[in-house]
Amino acid sequence: MSLIVHSEVPFNAEPPLDVLRSSSITEQSDFYVRSHGDIPRVEADGFALAVGGLVATPLRLSLADLRALPQAEVEATMQCAGNRRADMLEVRPVAGDPWSAGAIGNAHWSGVRLADILRAAGADTSLGRHVGFSALDEVEMDGKRFRFGTSIPIGKAMSPEVRVASAMNGAPLAPRHGYPLRIVTPGFAGVRSPKWLAAIEVRDAPSDCPIQAADYKLLPPDVERVEDIDWSRGVTIDELPVNSAICVPQAHARLSPGRLDLRGWASATAREIVRVDVSTNGGRTWRQAHLEGRRSPWAWVLWDAEVDLSPGEHELVVRAWDSAGQTQPARADDTWNVKGYLSAAWHRIPIVVG
Ligand SMILES: Nc1nc2c(c(=O)[nH]1)N[C@H]1C(S)=C(S)[C@@H](COP(=O)(O)O)O[C@H]1N2
Ligand SMILES: [Mo]
């Protein structure tokens, strides 16, 4: 319980990077929290999840009804589209909280497969459909108040990894992580995993909630001010790019000369991470890190590398590669965008040795 708080209301906080890197499974109490409004208090008694829209049989499922359906666990990493925004902020101003590299975590999620619920309702699963989610928290944006909602394309919704989750690491979801129910969409940005889930709706278009329609899109670099945003020019953020970070040591550390263990995470939500390179000289020369084994295709990869440091100032760098041979941009300017999303440049850590 050592989170670095970016904002109390709404509550936004991330763990220190050494805490984050200390375990491949992130405890609920160490898991970043990203909320857009107040944390709603939901009573289990009388709670029902509504399933409707383009379905043959609309459903209302109590928590007991959901418990009676087959339960399945998935180990998956959740990451905010704004993770590492602080690095992009150093280039030029961007809107949003200055997340370091801790708006990410990996957990065992359990609950019912979303596909099972959609099948039970006789959902129309034809191409071009979307599954919208509405939540119980109220959000205020641009002077308007509305309930949080997003959607995912039907193909992803029917994939076996997506959950209507009631538990995280074997315990009920904590209130701030969505008690009693949340969606978990492994491989997609955290925003597509609504907490405090109230309703599921099969639709012929994406959710028209402003969170889906007027936020969480990648804008081109010529949009330089938030006031100038035309959201129709943005690309909806679902999958996330190859990314990595050094968690140990931390930036500006003062270290003794000799052997040093670098540790961090790497993630590519749509593909496998196949290699992680580290540099102690700002990226002039590289060596490969050791990758920890992974039990789930949806999980991050933790890595470590032993380096030898001489006295002086050094820039430690990490970059990861995916199975398609794609890697990270060298500098945050390369992908600067006004909302500071998908900040995934080489992670650079200045340190002093001696
Ligand atoms: N209802 C609701 N769901 C939500 C949010 C929210 O504000 N309200 N934030 C989203 C975002 S942007 C992220 S990154 C993840 C964060 O989940 P966590 O707080 O459990 O880490 O929740 C998503 N689901
Ligand atoms: Mo997010």
**What pLDDT shows up at residue 39?**
96
Out of 1.20.90.10, 2.60.40.650, 2.40.50.140, 2.60.40.420, the CATH code matching 243-353 is 2.60.40.650
Residue with the nearest Cα to atom 23 of ligand 1? 191
Q: Nearest residue CA, atom 5 of ligand 1? A: 35
Model confidence over 159-209: pLDDT tens digits? Answer: 999 999 999 999 999 999 999 999 999 999 999 999 999 999 999 999 999
Q: What pLDDT, in 10s, does the model give residues 277-329? A: 999 999 999 999 999 988 899 999 999 999 999 999 999 999 999 999 999 99
* Listed residue (84, 81, 267, 106) closest to 189, CA to CA: 81
In DSSP terms, which residues pair with 302 in a beta bridge? 265
Q: Nearest residue CA, atom 24 of ligand 1? A: 194
Q: Domain 4-236 carries which CATH code?
A: 3.90.420.10
Taking only the tens place, the pLDDT of each residue in 97-108 is: 999 999 999 999
Residue with CA at minimum distance from ligand 1 atom 15: 190
Confidence (pLDDT) at 1: 60
Pocket of ligand 1 (CB under 6 A): 31-36, 78, 80, 135, 137, 148, 177, 190-191, 193-196
pTM for the model? 0.98
Average pLDDT, the chain: 97
Using the mean position of ligand 1's atoms as its centre, give its distance from the Cα of residue 150 in Å: 10
Alpha helices, DSSP H, located in 203-312:
210-213
Question: Nearest ligand to the C-alpha of residue 140?
Answer: 1
Alpha carbon distance 248, 245 (integer Å): 9
Could you tell me the residue ranges of all domains in the chain?
4-236, 243-353
pLDDT of residue 307: 97
Ligand with smallest separation from the Cα of 85: 2
Q: How far apart are CA 89 and CA 233, in angstroms?
A: 22
Q: How many residues does the chain have?
A: 354
Beta-bridge partner residues of 339:
none
Q: CA 309 to CA 306: how far, in whole Å?
A: 10
Q: How far is the CA of 215 from the centre of ligand 1 (A)?
A: 13
Q: Which protein residue has the closest C-alpha to ligand 1 atom 10?
A: 191
**So what's the pLDDT on residue 274?**
97
pLDDT, tens digit (0-9, with 9 covering 90-100), for 117-131: 999 999 999 999 999
Which pLDDT score, from 0 to 100, does residue 270 have? 87
Q: Where are the beta strands (DSSP E) in 175-242?
A: 182-184, 197-203, 217-218, 235-236
Q: State which H helix or E strand residue 135 sits in.
A: strand 130-141
Rg (CA), the chain: 21
Percent of the chain with pLDDT over 90: 98
**What is the distance in A from the centroid of ligand 2 to the CA of 30?**
16
Q: How far is the CA of 186 from the centre of ligand 2 (A)?
A: 13
310 CA distance to ligand 2 centroid (A)? Answer: 39
Residue nearest to atom 18 of ligand 1 (CA): 33
Q: What's the 80 CA to ligand 2 centre distance in angstroms?
A: 4
CB atoms within 10 A of CB 247: 27
